[in-house]
Structure 1
């Protein structure tokens, strides 16, 4: 009986240690010498080149954050595991400890803040509409009777429907499993428009077979702060991440990184996205904060 109780106590202690580390990411990283970075496979801020290689503005920024964390913890080496996430599974994977920090293209909003924490905003997104250049679609009103694509697990179509200019407009919705799949719906003619973050639209157009065949049109549907996602109530790790991002802003390296990924030719096709940094993103960098998109809507 005593042996049974001792075994139970040891098991309970071990489990408590695991849960404690799950809530203390810095301790988890220091103990294991490894960290899991959540990345996207076809986002405008991060994507894959195949064979386990992940690149892009937010991916590389995340790597720099983790390099600063490594220095803070005094680790000679830090092994980064790249964990692909989707719009549907990204929050659960952060919550359950599979992903320690997700730097994809996640909007910081009030609903998500109930489940996870966000680092300071690193990109302010504008939701727009991509169409074929010869479609005749130039605004929301032209979507009446059309088929509109978006990606499962995102808020873009809901944002479109809530837009005051969408009143009385009837359109059919189709969903891609990821952003590349959604763009394929537009490319193949199964959708007349693709509603999504402007950076994602621009990146997919630049990587397409004929970039000149597409254009981004219409009104800005929504302004959304994009930030790296962390587990909730882990203040020490959030501070480490925020401090790194603020350092990258202050020394100009984040601006250089933006230029590299949006204004210069990028792999795999060595075509530039051509998306100059917006005034909203500049403002977010000038006063680093983790405000949700609802605060932007109040302006």
Structure 2
């Protein structure tokens, strides 16, 4: 019978490959968003130096800008895990440095949300949970430091909030981090739709092949039920022509063959037997056959 089963190893390999492709496309889209964040938000962040002075947060932004630009052009050479670590590291540093420097008047929450989202998609549910717990604990510690007076706002809060560059940076940070969710979600939805279409096509092909194999199996089964053959050495009596079966009993040829094939016998006499048994009638009976 023909084999209609699907190799499960091939199915698993196909699924793993598709997941890897989708994750890679997602990481590529996030890297592009980070590039846009650097090009637009970094100049706005550095503009605040004229109003607030040079702080470590500006240095962090400048360093991360160089890292993002370098990473974007080298992303093709990075493996998935290194790309994930790099993206999460950038969002984590942006978030924590914002909280440390400007408390809640910063884009720290935006970057934290983006990091949790990336971790959840790329590392699974537990990856997102661990990242969320990390930010929760970190935020509580930083909040306690602000309340206890260990951290001090670098400039007057009221003047800082009124700076256009501050609102511009917050707005751009919000737009860019929102783009991480929107672009990635759109890309993931598109990739999943393509994957579903591919699976449906594969399923249709498998069903068609299975149907063809089922019909072939049916034809083969019918052919096998119709074709029964005798093979091997058959012990047959030299005089009466009986055949000895597998159990040692002697059977008439008709019984033996009928039990092992679908053949049916009709009895008649050959010309030699007709002449031997009915010599008076032989010439008359056999004459039509001789003339034919």
TM-score, with length taken from structure 2: 0.23
Structure with bigger gyration radius: 2
Q: Which has the higher strand share?
A: 1
Higher RCO (C-alpha under 8 Å, 6+ residues apart): 1
Q: Which has the higher helix share?
A: 2
TM-score, with length taken from structure 1: 0.23
